Homo-oligomer: A and B are copies of this chain.
C-alpha cells in the first residue's frame, strides 16, 4: 500500500468516524436547526439535568402525543375510517338487512364522491357498527390482517409506514431521557393498540384513545371472553383528552404534542402545570412532501385535522411551539432514508 492510498483510507476512516460521532450527538437528525428543534433540546436538558431548578424526577416524566396528523398521515381520511368503510361488505354479509339501508348502501356503492359526503352522524353509525359486536380478540386479529394488506393510495405503502421520521426520533429521544411516551388519540384505542408497539414502540397500556364498553361473558365451553359493545365509554377528543389522561395515566404530562383543535385542551392542561412544560403543534404546510391544510395561516380548510387560526394565535400567545413541516423537517418519512 503506498502512502497515498494509506492517506485516503485514513481520511475515509476519519470522515466515517466523524459522521458516526455527528449521528451519536444529534438525536434529532431529521429536524432542521430552528426554534422547534431548539425548544425540544432545551426542554429535555432543563428537565433531566440533576440540579436544574426545573428538574423532573424520572417517575414523573410523561409525554403525550396525538396520533393522526401528529405521528402519521391523516389525509385524505383517518386510517381507521378507511378501515371501517372497507369492513362494511363483511358486516353486510353477516347482517344482510343492512344491504339496502343507509349509510351502508352508499358505502357498498363504491361511489367515492357520495361516500365523501356522508355526514358525521352517518360516519359514527358506520364506526359503531363495524367496531362492535365481535370479541376483542376477533377485532384485533381482523385489524391486524387489514393493516398488513391495505395500502395508502398516494404512497402505495402500508399505513404504518406513513409515520413521521422526525416524530419517531422525538419519541426515541424522550424515552432515552426517561420519559414515558403515550399516544392520546381521538381514534379508537383498540385499533391503535394493534400496531402501536411495532410502529412506535408504544405498548397497549400506553395508548389512550376513544373507547367503547366491553362485556364479559362465557362461550359455550365456559371459556370467558370480552365482547366489544356499541356503547361509548370515553370520547378522547377535545376536553376528552385531559379527562382520558387523568383516567388512564393519573397525572399531568410535562410535554404534549398535537396538530389540531382536538388537541387544544390537552396542551392547555399540560402547560398549566408547574415548571418546564413543552407544548407543540404540527402545522401541515408542506403540500409537496405531504399535505397543506389548516386553516391556520391561510391554509385550506378540510374535514380532518382542523388547525384554526385561533389555535395558532393561542399557541403564539401561550408559548407553545408550532412545528412547520416544511421548514422544520428535513425528512418526512422513514422510507426516504432507505
Contacts and interface: CB of A to CB of B under 8 A. Distances in A.
Contact of A216 (B203, B225, B242, B250): B242
B247 A233 contact: yes
A258 to B, nearest CB: 15
Contacts of A214: 243, 246-247
Nearest to A242: B216
Interface stretch (A72-80, A95-103, A204-212): A204-212
B226 A243 contact: yes
B216 A239 contact: yes
B204 A249 contact: yes
Contact of A224 (B216, B233, B242, B249): B242
B59 A246 contact: no
State the number of copies, please. Answer: 2
Identify whether the interface residues of A are mostly helix, strand, loop, or mixed. mixed
A29 to B, nearest CB: 27
Interface in A240-272: 242-243, 246-251, 265, 268-269, 272
Contacts of A249: 204-205
A197 interface: yes
A263 to B, nearest CB: 13
A207 B268 CA distance: 25
A93 interface: no
A41 interface: no
Q: Which interface residue of A203, A243, A247, A265 has the most chain B CB atoms within 10 A?
A: A247
A59 B203 contact: yes
A223 interface: yes
B204 A216 contact: no
Contacts of A215: 239, 243
A197 B59 contact: yes
A277 interface: no
B269 A224 contact: yes
B246 A205 contact: no
A85 interface: no
Contacts of A224: 242, 265, 268-269, 272
A284 interface: no
Contact of A247 (B197, B211, B225, B243): B211
Nearest to A217: B239
